[in-house]
Structure 1
Amino acid sequence: MTGINLRGIDKRYGSVDVINNFELQVDPGEFLVFLGPSGCGKSTLMRMIAGLEEVSAGEIHVAGRDVTHLAPGARDIAMVFQHYALYPHMTVYDNMAFGLRNVGVPRDEIDRRVQEAARMLELVQLLERKPVEMSGGQRQRVAIGRAVVKEPLAFLFDEPLSNLDAALRGRTRIELARLHQRLKTTMIFVTHDQVEAMTLATRIVVMNAGRIEQLGRPMEIYHRPATRFVAGFIGSPAMNFLDVDRIEAPNGFVAVRLPDGTTVQTSVPAAGLPTQSKLTLGVRPEALSIGAAEESDVLVGNAEVVERLGDQTFAHIALRNGELVIVQAGADSTISVGDLVGVRLDHSAVHLFDQSGIAYHAQARSVA
């Protein structure tokens, strides 16, 4: 097993800075995910690690060895791309064996590696087929197998599931998780899909504009986002945000007032919070619940949209001031479009964000 260390990495295209002084230690054997919107620099970082892009400054170390200026083939890293790029005239076996033959690996060793990878990826019955005779998911497994047979120090995955339909993405995601458990090799995975990140990662690097917005375990990032950007990017449906005014609270916790005059008492400690009066209240849909509209301690609004997803229901509630919040209701909720309802908040699960987007949390939560 091996780790990867990025030290002061810069990437410039002409006068445009894409990555600036990027520092990251990828631990041996971990499954690290770069997560962020298009254009945030995650694929550029991946390509620099692979040697497909030159760094403008900084160093890349793999297993303690400086590989910054080595050719891609000399880094002992295997990369799986978004597009399968299989040889159409070759069988699955030959696609997986081709790279090994080119570097002179003995025939018996090639066969051992291909057969082992085929068993691991459930491709044994497909070894004599050509790519045109297989589904998209099977082709992607072949592309992964072609990387596995190299027995590299680390794997790089650049959005490998984005061309698959929803069902295949789910199945292939599980196969990748199992592959990591079997190989216990360092893996870096690039995606803009938070479900892939949350379900695969040992740690997630949330990226924004070429920098790390937050680095942490999946549930840590979910429950305690460092910034409003992270809070809005992680979670489906996204966190609800409401502009509020801070008001005095004698109990050591912050109270806020919504534009319609409703006061909300939070469990966010006042100590350490900036004195600015304008804040943003953040609350996830599952921290809201629907109650009777006449209760005095709730927000009041009308249901505009109701999404019934089988195991859960999401209600989009338009509050009296015109703002919209999404509430996770019970799977068997009877709420209908047009209903007047009350919305209660779990005060221990709300977040506050200052004008610069920094987050302040109600309390530490136990995360796994």
Structure 2
Amino acid sequence: MSRGGTLTGIRLNGVTKRYGETEVITGLDLDIHEGEFLVFLGPSGCGKSTLLRMIAGLESVSDGQITIGDREVNDLPPGKRGVAMVFQHYALYPHMTVYDNMAFGLRNSGVVSDDIDRRIKEAARMLELDALLQRRPSQLSGGQRQRVAIGRAVVKEPEAFLFDEPLSNLDAALRTRTRVELARIHQRLNSTMVFVTHDQIEAMTLATRIVVMNRGRIEQIGAPLEIYKRPATRFVAGFIGAPAMNFIDVERAGDQGGRLVVALPGAQIKIPTAVAASSLPAGKLTLGVRAEHVILDASGPLEGRAEVIERLGDRSLAHVSLPNLPLLVAEVPRDLELEVGARVRMSLDAAHLHLFDEAGKAHHGV
């Protein structure tokens, strides 16, 4: 959504946040494109909510600039930035009806009554709140209250929407439904939306781009499948994906035809991409492989014992112990009845391996 023809992209240039001597965001640069759904993803304490609050004007910027559209907003109060924020806690006025909760901010801003009524009815129709406009928050379910909080943001017709973990108070079924509703709202409004979460499923299903954060810094920016398939660091590889990627410490074993060969107990593996041994920094190497690429194979070089079987409905996962190796998680073929304690042989799908150096940087080759 644009207001008065202004572009609604957001730019962060060298943004830093300090609390006393503690630096929680360090020199962060980021362009948020007009109309995209960008998700800040990372563990608790990584700085993602602080960053969102700086964009909203609820936290000051220690260094750097934030630009919304064509305006630098560092010194503007929240109400002048043209953004609307939806919080984890709904923050609805309990004594007001749904209609009045949605109208409150508009009335304070001097919007005329007819325009308020039009905006509320449009938002209520979009969010399926038409029949609830005269109810009070205590008469609503958690999912309905969250939709009212979203509706209160929609009626402001902002340049950008900011969401701070808005689904974390909902149960699993409601989270799924509300995710779908948010995706539909984005498609209808074509607005710039910035969403903070620690939940990778929310990030993968909602985002056009994901910003993976760790300790106040950006680890990787990319489309969901790009980040899943080509993680830039070991941190990203371990954070994205359920179950987490398997990691195995390996030794350099040579170079065949320009491709690195690594050794692990019981097997040697040629890395499929052209990663030359000479191009890698000194130090330990770690091989990464996802559960779906650990193949249960009767002639495979790795042998172990199934310690735990997770039956997840659509698929099953086997946690396999191997001599001198960490527990490996492998996806079990649907037609295979595997029991705890069974001996299994495995191979690794060479086309889907990841290599990380001692600093945690990925080496994908070409």
Task: Place the TM-score, normalised by the shorter chain, in its bin.
Answer: over 0.9
Q: Give secondary structure in 2 for the equivalent of 1:168.
A: helix
- 2:229 counterpart of 1:193: no
The structure-2 alpha-carbon separation of the partners of 1:42 and 1:7, relative to structure 1 and needing over 3 Å to count, comes to same
Match of 1:323 among 320, 323, 326: 326
Structure 2 contact 179–206 (Cα < 8 Å) conserved: yes
Shift of 1:330: 2.2
Report the 3-state secondary structure (helix = DSSP H, G, I; strand = E; otherwise coil) of the residue aligned with 2:34. coil
Aligned to 1:116: 122
1:79 counterpart letter in structure 2 = M
Cα deviations by residue, 1:328-350 (Å, 9 ceiling, x for unpaired): 12234211101101111110100
2:39, 2:195 within 8 Å by CA — same for their partners in 1? yes
Question: Which letter maps to 1:263?
Answer: Q
- Aligned match of 1:256: 262
Encode CA deviations 1:221-266: one digit per residue, 9 max, x unaligned.
Answer: 10000000000000000000001101013222111111x3422222
Matched, 1:233 2:239: yes
Name the counterpart of 1:217.
Answer: 223
- Contact 1:304–1:337, Cα closer than 8 Å, also in 2: yes
How far apart, CA to CA, are the structure 2 residues paired with 1:361 and 1:298? Answer: 24
Match among 133, 149, 170 for residue 143 of structure 1? 149
Shift of 1:128: 1.0
Match for residue 268 of structure 1?
A: 273
In structure 1, distance between residues paired with 2:363 and 2:71? 40
Residue 179 of structure 1 deviates from its aligned partner by 0.4
Which residue does 1:366 correspond to in 2? none
Equivalence for 2:66: 60
Equivalent pair of 2:266/2:301 in contact (CA under 8 Å): no
Q: Among 90, 98, 102, which residue is 1:96 paired with?
A: 102
Structure 1 range deviating more: 62-71 or 354-363: 354-363
How far is the alpha carbon of 1:86 from its aligned partner? Answer: 0.4
Q: Does the 8 A contact of 2:39 with 2:210 survive in 1?
A: yes
Alignment gaps of 5+ in structure 1: 364-368
Query: Within 1, Cα distance between the matches of 2:283 and 2:275?
Result: 12
Residues in 2 aligned to 1:314 and 1:189: alpha-carbon distance in whole angstroms: 31
Which of 15, 18, 23 lines up with 2:24 in the alignment? 18
What amino acid does structure 2 have at the position aligned with 1:253? Answer: R
Residue 8 of structure 1 deviates from its aligned partner by 1.1
Asked whether the equivalents of residues 239 and 283 of structure 1 are also in contact (C-alpha less than 8 Å), the reply is yes
- Give the aligned CA root-mean-square deviation in angstroms: 1.2
Kindly provide the amino acid, as one letter, of the partner of residue 18 in structure 1: V
| Contact residue 256 and residue 263 of structure 1 kept, 8 A | yes
C-alpha distance in structure 1 between counterparts of 2:24 and 2:154, whole Å = 31
1:156 maps onto 2:162 in alignment: yes
Once the 2 structures are TM-superposed, how far is the Cα of residue 299 of structure 1 from its aligned partner?
1.0
Aligned-pair identity in percent equals: 64
In the TM superposition, what whole-angstrom CA distance separates every residue of 1:48-97 from its partner, at most 9, and x where no partner exists?
00000010111111111111110000111000000001011111111111
Q: Corresponding residue for 2:251?
A: 245
Partner of 1:351: 354
TM-score, normalising length from structure 1?
0.95
Matched residue type, 1:113: R
d(CA) in 2 for partners of 1:237 and 1:93?
43
**Is 1:342 matched up with 2:345?**
yes
Match of 2:138 in 1: 132
Q: Equivalent residue of 1:145, what SS?
A: helix
Matches within 5 A, 1:26-45: 26-45=32-51
Give the TM-score taking structure 2 as reference length.
Answer: 0.96
Question: What is the aligned partner in structure 2 of residue 281 from structure 1?
Answer: 287
Question: What residue ranges of structure 2 are gaps of 5+ in the alignment?
Answer: 3-7
Quote the residue 1:7 is aligned against.
13
1:206·1:230 contact (CA, 8 Å) conserved in 2? yes
Shift of the 277–109 alpha-carbon distance from structure 1 to 2, 3 Å rule, reads closer
Number of equivalenced pairs = 359
In structure 1, the residue matched to 2:5 is: none
Which residue of the partner structure matches residue 302 of structure 1?
305
Q: Which amino acid aligns with 1:183?
A: L
CA distance in 2, matches of 1:289, 1:359: 23
